[in-house]
Amino acid sequence: MNLRKIVPVLGIFACVACKNSEVKEEKVSVEEEELMEASAFQDTIQGKGVTLNKIENGDLTAYFTNYGARLVGLWVPNEDGELTDVVVGFGDIEGYLNSTEAYFGATIGRYGNRIAKGRFSLDGEEYQLPINNDPNTLHGGKSGFEDKVWEVEQPNDSTLIFSYTSQDGEEGFPGNLETTVTYALTDDNALRITYEATTDEKTVVNLTNHAFFNLNGEGSGSILNHDMKIFADRYTPVDSTLIPTGELASVEDTPFDFRETKTIGKDINENNTQLENGQGYDHNFVLNGAYGKMRPAAIVTGEKSGITMEVFTQEPGIQFYSGNFMQGENTFKNGSKDDQDDHRTAFALETQHFPDAPNQPDFPSTVLEPGEKYQTVSIYKFSVAEKKPKK
């Protein structure tokens, strides 16, 4: 088990009597034991070195690996002040290589979410991508950004910068795409993610992060009693293959109405075609307000921990995924499994442009031109809800 008990830094003071009766203090420090083992991630993949990297801000501690530029764990104080790992993941690189779910914590690209039948056109030229979510392309193809080893640099204790060059034709996409993702823990206890990209040929781009969260802590059971609010009056209904129909439908009088706080599980078992298509929630919500400006997207609170996560973004949409396809075959950092009988043990909130936008002219465009810069910021901010009195 790679999750290890945190040991506080101790200060030991020794008093030494001198001839002049002055007292001299000597401080001896004991190094803090790490929450995760860096050696468990040391490997060579695609001829490149894989590492485990840590950032912290005094209250929060986060670990990342450059394999997939992915978030591995995020420790947040709960309502009792105890550090709680709210991100589901693995304690070694083998866990990510052998997982039944490829996207745990990963940076997703070139195109997050689905493209219908893996096809789109630019200036009359059609591009065919690999089909990896039959009959569609999901999250950039068979070997998307989650499967790449990124370059990494750490300018300070609270910031990591990952970079990757996606070559022209990789997974069928045109243009050499220079991509940078910056993760930073801020003074107000937020994880700020900045995505940037440039291209030398017209292409499509839609970057996001696929962290799986359980705000009660990794391995703590179902997320169905988490309270959630989503700042969206509309969502994009999908067909049976989870491709948007093109409609921007009202959430009113549907299970997709999270405008007022309710538990994730309140309406998840309703007799509803859209829930049947996704086997739960796996839908894009159309966020209120003008995209391009930072605004609230969602608020979620763990009912056991009191930990609240607020999501802010410049993106037009957010994909809420209720963990519908966990298979009970993955063992996580703390030794727990994604229980097949209680499979909704984590959720994802992926800030994004809309699925299949390259084929949907009425959706916000995902086209990136040479000379332009793709840049977007999303924020996941953590706090503790007011502690409820014990009965």
How far is residue 323's CA from residue 344's CA, in Å, rounded to a whole number? 5
Q: How many CB atoms lie within 10 A of CB 301?
A: 22
- For position 16, what pLDDT does the model report? 33
The string over 278-288, giving b where at least 16 C-beta atoms fall within 10 Å of a residue's C-beta and e elsewhere, is bebbbbbbbbe
Token digits for 269?
A: 């078992």
How far is residue 279's CA from residue 272's CA, in Å, rounded to a whole number? 10
**Residues 143-196 pLDDT 10s:** 999 999 999 999 999 999 999 999 999 999 999 999 999 999 999 999 999 999
The fold of 38-384 is Beta-galactosidase; Chain A, domain 5 (2.70.98)
How far is residue 220's CA from residue 306's CA, in Å, rounded to a whole number? 13
Provide the residue ranges of all domains of the chain, joining segments of one domain with +: 38-384
pLDDT tens digits, the chain, 391 residues: what are they?
343 333 333 333 333 333 343 433 343 333 457 899 999 999 999 999 999 999 999 999 999 999 999 999 999 999 999 999 999 999 999 999 999 889 999 999 999 999 999 999 999 999 999 999 999 999 999 999 999 999 999 999 999 999 999 999 999 999 999 999 999 999 999 999 999 999 999 999 999 999 999 999 999 999 999 999 999 999 999 999 999 999 999 999 999 999 999 999 999 999 999 999 999 999 999 999 999 999 999 999 999 999 999 999 999 999 999 988 666 678 889 888 766 455 689 999 999 999 999 999 999 999 999 999 999 999 999 999 766 665 4
Catalytic residues: 210, 350
The string over 12-36, giving b where at least 16 C-beta atoms fall within 10 Å of a residue's C-beta and e elsewhere, is eeeeeeeeeeeeeeeeeeeeeeebb
Token digits for 300?
A: 């979620």
CB 345 within 8 A of CB 222: yes
